[in-house]
């Protein structure tokens, strides 16, 4: 048996790793991140208190999407298009087969 994850769902772990990796690669500083995330948590907590679980990572994801859009690292539209490309890939892949994006979904993205 695997040890239980430190995260409730795998996407939370992926999101955490992605954010740390981006900061470490120098795309934003950690204080920039915590300032943006803190502001998002404050805004989200106005309606109802956050429990620190799923709603915490939902706010984390929203912060990262906004930060990537603002800095131009990944615009809202391309992120949205990619999300739908993945959704289509899942819906058109037979059950049990590995899910892949069609080749043209990521071509042309690499910075030159």
Residue 43 interacts with other proteins (CB under 8 A): yes or no: no
Q: Binding of other proteins at residue 91 (CB under 8 A)?
A: yes
d(CA 91, CA 111): 30
Binding residue for other proteins, selected from 9, 43, 70, 102, defined by CB under 8 A = 9
Q: Is 69 in the site for other proteins (CB under 8 A)?
A: no
Contact between 30 and other proteins by CB under 8 A: the answer reads yes
Token pair 């994006």 is found at 101
Residue 111 interacting with other proteins (CB under 8 A): yes
Tokens of 57: 């990572």
Query: Is residue 95 near other proteins by the rule CB under 8 A?
Result: yes
Distances (CA, A) of 92 to 79, 82, 83, 84, 89: 20, 15, 14, 12, 5
Would you tell me which residues interact with other proteins (CB under 8 A)?
Answer: 3, 5-7, 9-11, 13-18, 20-22, 24-25, 27, 30-31, 33-35, 37-38, 41, 45, 49-53, 56-58, 61, 64-65, 68, 73-74, 78-80, 82-83, 85-87, 90-97, 99, 101, 105-106, 109-111
């Amino acid at each position: 048996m695997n040890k239980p994850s430190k995260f409730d769902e795998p996407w939370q772990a992926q999101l955490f790793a992605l954010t740390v990796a981006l900061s470490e690669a120098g795309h934003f500083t950690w204080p920039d991140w915590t300032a943006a995330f803190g502001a998002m948590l404050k805004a989200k907590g106005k309606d109802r208190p956050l429990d620190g679980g799923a709603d915490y990572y939902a706010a984390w994801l929203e912060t990262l999407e906004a930060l990537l859009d603002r800095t131009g690292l990944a615009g809202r539209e391309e992120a949205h298009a990619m999300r739908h490309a993945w959704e289509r890939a899942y819906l058109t892949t037979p059950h049990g087969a590995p899910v892949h994006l069609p080749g043209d979904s990521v071509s042309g993205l690499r910075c030159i």
